[in-house]
Amino acid sequence: MKRMVWSIAIITVIIGASVFGIFNLIHVSDEMLELTSSAQKAVDDEDIKKAEELTEQLSSFWDQQHRTLILYVRHNDVDEISKYLSELKQLLEHGNYSEYSSRISHVELLLQHLLDSEIPTIQNIL
């Protein structure tokens, strides 16, 4: 009987951790995609001060969240997003707005790929 109780407890912990991971990833991705979209719009509107503020918010939010994400997400995806985010501020400071837009688009693509690859769907399971 004790084995059955322990088995159910372990399965419950695993399911709980998985559900937490999925919802946390969805939250982080949504927030990041919103910030990247706003930063891209600010650069397109030539509002560089706003783009700098949004880029700082983006970097700060990612710095807070990436330590949790690496517990259950592939490290190479998280590292690649971190790499591109670290370059954004410098691109704005040097006036390289086209490269900034390219990097923001790439971060958005990586975030979407990360979300798509971690959500349990038939394509991911098979």
pLDDT of 71: 87
Residue 64 predicted with pLDDT over 90: yes
d(CA 58, CA 39): 9
pLDDT averaged over the chain? 91
The residues, ordered by sequence, that sit 6+ positions from 29 with a Cβ below 8 Å of its Cβ are 111, 112, 114, 115
Residue 92's CATH number: 1.20.120
In a domain, 1, yes or no: no
Tell me the per-residue pLDDT of 70-112, one tens digit each, with 9 for 90 and over: 888 888 889 999 999 999 999 999 989 999 999 999 999 999 9
Q: Do the domain assignments include residue 15?
A: no
Give the residue carrying structure tokens 């930063």: 39
This prediction has a pTM of 0.85
pLDDT reported for residue 119: 82
Write down the pLDDT at residue 32.
Answer: 95
> Has residue 6 been placed in a domain?
no
**Total domain count for the chain?**
1
The two structure tokens encoding residue 100: 């900034």
Mention every residue, 6+ apart, whose C-beta is less than 8 A from residue 69: 24, 25, 28, 78
Residue 126 lies in a domain: no
Residue 111 CB-density burial (10 A; 0-12 exposed, 13-18 middle, 19+ buried): buried
62 and 82 Cβ atoms separated by less than 8 Å: yes
Question: What is the domain range of residue 48?
Answer: 25-119
- Cα separation, 106 vs 25, in Å, equals 18
